[in-house]
Amino acid sequence: MKFHRNVKERTFNNADSFAMSFDEEWQKFECENEILKINKVIDLLSDHPFVKSNPETAFQIANFRIKSLRKFR
């Protein structure tokens, strides 16, 4: 039994849903400049409900995930 679902199949207007989508797209996108890359990934996710309703918070969450958590280094 497989429980993995494509993130794009299930998006919700909340930070967790955005973070999962952001993580997935971040891994795919190539760019050396972190801020530019964050902005480009958020642009790719512009249809995500959380980005639409909370664009500033989406940027803050993305920036936190990259800078503070050092998750993708």
The whole-angstrom distance between residue 36's C-alpha and the CA centroid of its chain comes to 13
DSSP class of 48: S
**What does pTM read for this prediction?**
0.79
Contact in structure between 41 and 26 (CB atoms under 8 Å) = yes
Q: Please give the pLDDT value at position 18.
A: 97
Across the range 67-72, mean pLDDT stands at: 71
Residue 68 has pLDDT above 80, yes or no: yes
Q: Give the chain's mean pLDDT.
A: 85
- Euclidean distance between CA atoms 48 and 69, whole angstroms: 23
Residue 3 has pLDDT above 50, yes or no: no
DSSP class of 56: H
Task: Dig out the tokens for 5 from the structure.
Answer: 């679902």
- Euclidean distance between CA atoms 37 and 29, whole angstroms: 7
Residue 54 has pLDDT above 60, yes or no: yes
